[in-house]
Structures are given as structure tokens and as C-alpha cells.
Structure 1
Amino acid sequence: MQVNFQIIRQSENAPPWVQSYDLEVEPGNTILDCLNQIKWEYDGTLAFRKNCRNTICGSCAMRINGRSGLACKENVAQEIARTQTLSDSGIPKITIAPLGNLPVIKDLVVDMGNFWQGLEAISPYVDSSGLPIPETEFTQSPQEREGLNLPGNCILCGACYSECNAIEVNPQFVGPHALAKANRLVTDSRDNQTSQRLEEYNSETTGVWGCTRCQYCNSVCPTGVEPLEQIGKIKQKILATHQHTKEPVSTAIRHRQVLVELVKSGGWIDERQFGIKVVGNSLRDLKGLASLGPLGLRMLSRGKFPWSFEPSEGTAAVRSLIESVEKSSNY
């Protein structure tokens, strides 16, 4: 079958441009097979990364028809069926572009420096310092080891990083790949730095609270790591450590706690209390309260400030559901 490949090409610090190639391919050919065909038979200047060709190394991550994935995993038939787009000549079209959120070096090759810095920021290694040294090795039960399986499947391909909305607006966010690895560390029974790690990952902008929960990282992960779920597990651990403490907590933790408190109380959020309790820390943060002023005035001027609050008819059912979840998750 004939397929048109539209490849976004670019040199460093230069504007991108599109080059078109018409290939005769088999439906089962992978996208990497097709890129190899272009490079070997049509254009040796095309640059892209590859290595294992078997969904192990993560080298060939790129955007395929607007969605980040591995070129060695996605095949022609799947992509044509998914997008059903045609070229100007009327044949099926597949568009290939470099990963997002990373600067382009050449064509489909990106500079992964920021990606690796995000990983380095979470101290991605087990730290057993301070633990008694065993005679042979640090051992784990099958149950303890099982908890490491999912985050341990990450091959650091960059697909989740490429699609991350949080990184797009805040380059200081460490990224879903790093936080998925972070949950592996705070889950590992051989690590002796859990409390320090949770404090580090508690950052409102660079850590777990910087995540926008858009689900894109889960949808593109080629190995099913589900980075968003790993981030959620870290949040649960952080919240559990602050559940009974009287120490001041961050705005992000208050946001979660107040949201649950208000929904349990009224079935949905009482917007009159939410900002005051979260940003204003229940009238204890005068600077935070002052920051609400401009927003409050705009809401008042546009008739969007609720003067009263009516609890939901299903408040009791909502409260029961939340309490059941809290009980089952030991939070």
C-alpha cells in the first residue's frame, strides 16, 4: 500500500519545515521501519534516534500523528485507522514530528537535557544509609517487590514528558517520568529516606502538586506505567503524613483538605469559603487574603459571587462515599 509521510524537519535554532515522502509499505510495518526506508533509500540526511527496535530502550520516541509514542511500536495500519487522514494526492497520510517540550537538535532528534535534570532532581536511587547492614543483601517480600513493578516498567522514553501540560507552562516541573520513578523510591522498603523524599516531592510547583492531572501521560505511556496514578500515590502518602499534625501545611495540601471537607459538608464546594480557607488559610494569611481581592472584585462586578449556599440533596450519600474511600485507602 502507498502511504504519504509528512515529516517535520528542523535544524537547531531554525524554523521547522515539512518534507513529504511517498512510500510503498506493508500495513504491518512499524513507523520505524518506514523511517529506516526513507533514510536508506531516499534521504540519508534525515535524523532520528533508534536502538533496540523492540519497545525496550525508548530511544525512538516521537510524535506520530500528533501523539507521542515509540516508532518501533506503532505500525502503519494502526495509525491510518486512528487518524484516517489523506494527503493532497488522496493517499493515507502519517505525520511525524519531534517530541514536545524539548528543544530540537535536528529533525526528530531532541535535546533530552531538561528531561534528565528532572529525573536527577528526585534523587533516583535507593538510599539505604543508616540501615543495619545485612550479612548478605537487602531482601524484600514478594508483596514488597510487587509494589515496585509498575513504576519500575518506565523506560524513560520521554513520551509522557512530551505531552505534559504542566511542563508546557512551568518548565521547572520535574515531569511525570521523574515522579513515577519517585513513587518507586518512596515505596521501596530498602530506602531509608522516605520522609525526606516526601518533603522534597511536596513542592507546589516542581513536585507532585504541579501536576495538572490532564491524563495525557497515562494515555501515551508505551509500557503502562500510568504516571498520573504514581503521582496520586505520592500525594496520598504526603497527605497521610499531615493528617494528624498541627504543623502549618502548604497551600496545596490545604487545597486538597478543604475541598474534601467542604464536599463532605455540603455535597459540593461552597465557593464563599474555599478561597478564604485555602489561600487565606482561614484568615491567618493576610497576604493570601489580600491576593484574593482583585479576583473577588471581578466576580462581584460580573455577578459571579455566590451570596448563599445550598447543600446538595445527595450530601449524605456523597459524604458516605468519601468516608468509604478514606477508610479503604487507610487515609
Structure 2
Amino acid sequence: MQVVFKIVRQDETRAPQIQSFALDVEPGNTILDCLNQIKWEQDGTLAYRKNCRNTICGSCAVRINGRSALACKENVGSEVARFAASAAIPEITLAPLGNMPVIKDLVVDMKDFWGNLKAIDPYVSTASRQVPEREFLQSPDDRAKLNQTGNCIMCGACYSDCNAREVNPRFVGPHALAKAYRLVADNRDGETEARLENYNYSTDGVWGCTRCYNCNSVCPMEVAPMDQIGKIKQEILVRKDGHESRSIRHRKTLIDLVKQGGWIDERQFGLRVVGNSFRDLAGLVSLAPLGLRMIGRGKFPGKFEPSQGQKQVRSLIDSIQAFEATSS
């Protein structure tokens, strides 16, 4: 079958431009196979990363038709079926990973990616090991808690598609926080409390996640970074008072109000989260313009009506919280 590959090409000195390459390929050929064919037969200047060709090293991650993926894992047949099944000559677009500056063509500078990983201190602390010549053994159950996050191959796909990273350059990224949970869950580590304080910091840490689900959807190893971030948040919430920070108040108030009324009483939500239940005067003042506009337009709720099934909602939340407490 014939396929046209449209590759976004650029370097540090010129703007991106699209160059097309027509190939005769088999549906089972991987995208990396096709990149190799283009480089070896049509344009030797094409730049991209590769290494193992077996979905192990993570080197060949690129954006394929708008989503980040491993070029050695995705094949032509599935891409054509997904995006260009009805086209006379199907096209596949390849672009460099997002949220990282481009060095050349499909090769990006991953300096910040690795720097953010380093920022979460991704090493097991052995300070609690009193006998250095002896192994620190784990039970099979304790080791099993680390399996999912241990599968991360640092390909950068989640970082590339992260909306939070795109709008907040200080956000460390889903890759780093997924690794962070591995350390929180590791019973050999002696720095759990200090780590949670670090990961709790402003929107640079776990509270910067917007829960867009992009990282989970593109991860080739099913690490589910957003789920791991959620687990860190839960560990923080268990340890923190409800007035600790706006991020923590937001989460705890949301749950409390839904338990009370089945849905959110927006009048209380703003006062408790932004105004910290009348403890934060600056926050209260910041709510005034919005409140006045809502009143002026007749959109300020005069009373709150609980939703139908309020008791069932509360029961479900209580059951989930009890289950999580038992599991932990």
C-alpha cells in the first residue's frame, strides 16, 4: 500500500515546515520502519531518535497524527484505519514531542524533562538501613505496589501531551510524579513525610495536575501517571488539615458539600475554598466582584436544593472512603 508521510521538519534556526514522503509499505510496518526507509532511501538528513526497536528504551517517541506515541510500537495499518481509511492515498503526520524545544526535525531537547525528574529526588533513601551489608528485603505484596510505576520507560509521551505543563512551566510533569509515587509507596524509603511536603508545594507539584487524562491515554506502558498523582494527593489529604492550603481546601470542601447535598452548594464553596471560611480576608474581597456581577444578572442562588438521591451519594462516598482507609 502507498502512504504519504508528512513530517514536520525544523531546527533551532528556522521555522517548522512540512515535508512529504511517499512510501510503499505493508500494513504491519511500524512507523519507525518507515522513518528508517525514508532516511535510508530518500533523505539522509532526517533526524530522529531510535535504539531498541522493541518498546523498551522509549527513545523513538514522537507525535503521530497529533498524539504522542512510540514509533516502534505503532504500525501503519492501525494509523490508516484510525485516521485515513477513506483517503485514496492515506497520510500520516509525524511531529516532534510537545513541551520541549526542538533541536532538529523529530529530535527534542529533554533537559527540562530530566531536570524535573531529578527535582523529585527519585532515589530510595537508605538512611533507615542500620546494617549496610545486609539486604533490605520486601514481601511480594510490598514489591507488587511498585510494579506499575516501575514500568515507566521515560519516553516523554505523557510530558509531551501534558496540558498542565503547557500552561505552567514550573509543573514538574506526570512522568516525575508517577516516579514520585513509587517512592511514597516503597516501604524501604525513610523520607515519606519530607517527600509529601515537597510534592504538595503549590502548583509545581501534584496540585498542578488538571486531570485532563492525556498522560494516561498516551502512556505506552500503562503506567497511568494521573492515577499515581491521585494517590499522592490522597496521602497528602490524609495528613493535612482542611485549612492548610487552597488546593487542599478545594478537594476536601468538594467532597464535604457533595456528601451534604448530592451536589455542590456554590455559595458555600467559594467562601470555604477562596475565603477559607472567613479566615482569608483577601480571598473574601477577591470574591466580591464576581458575587456582585452574579447578583446583578440574577444568577446568585438564593437557596440550595439538595439533589435527588442525596443519601445514596453520601453512602457511596462513605463506602469508598472506608474501603480506601482499609486498603491503606
Which residue is 2:105 aligned to? 107
Deviates more, 1:134-143 or 1:95-104: 134-143
Shift in Å, 1:303: 3.0
Identity %: 67
Which residue is 1:271 aligned to? 266
Cα deviation, 1:105-139, whole Å, max 9, x if unaligned, reads 11000011111111111001101214422552111
Candidates 139, 142, 145, aligned match of 1:141: 139
Q: After the TM superposition, which residues 87-166 of structure 1 pair with which residues of structure 2 at under 5 Å, given as runs?
A: 90-133=88-131, 135-166=133-164
Which residue is 1:197 aligned to? 195
Aligned-residue RMSD, C-alpha: 1.4
Which residue is 1:307 aligned to? 302
Q: Distance in 1 between matches of 2:34 and 2:293?
A: 55
Which residue is 2:70 aligned to? 70
Which residue is 1:83 aligned to? 83
Show structure 1 runs of 5+ residues with no match: none
Count of residues in correspondence between the two structures: 326
Q: After the TM superposition, which residues 1-331 of structure 1 pair with which residues of structure 2 at under 5 Å, given as runs?
A: 1-84=1-84, 90-133=88-131, 135-242=133-240, 245=241, 248-330=243-325
Q: Distance in 1 between matches of 2:117 and 2:85?
A: 37
Asked whether the equivalents of residues 160 and 176 of structure 1 are also in contact (C-alpha less than 8 Å), the reply is: yes
TM (norm. structure 2) is 0.96
Q: In structure 2, do the counterparts of structure 1 residues 45 and 204 end up closer, same or farther at CA, with 3 Å as the change threshold?
A: same
Asked whether the equivalents of residues 86 and 93 of structure 1 are also in contact (C-alpha less than 8 Å), the reply is: no
- Secondary structure of the corresponding residue to residue 39 of structure 1: helix
- Secondary structure of the corresponding residue to residue 259 of structure 1: helix
Cα deviation, 1:260-290, whole Å, max 9, x if unaligned, reads 1111111100000001101111000101111
Shift in Å, 1:313: 1.8
Q: Distance in 2 between matches of 1:168 and 1:124?
A: 23
TM (norm. structure 1) is 0.96
Q: Distance in 1 between matches of 2:302 and 2:320?
A: 32
Q: Distance in 1 between matches of 2:231 and 2:120?
A: 16
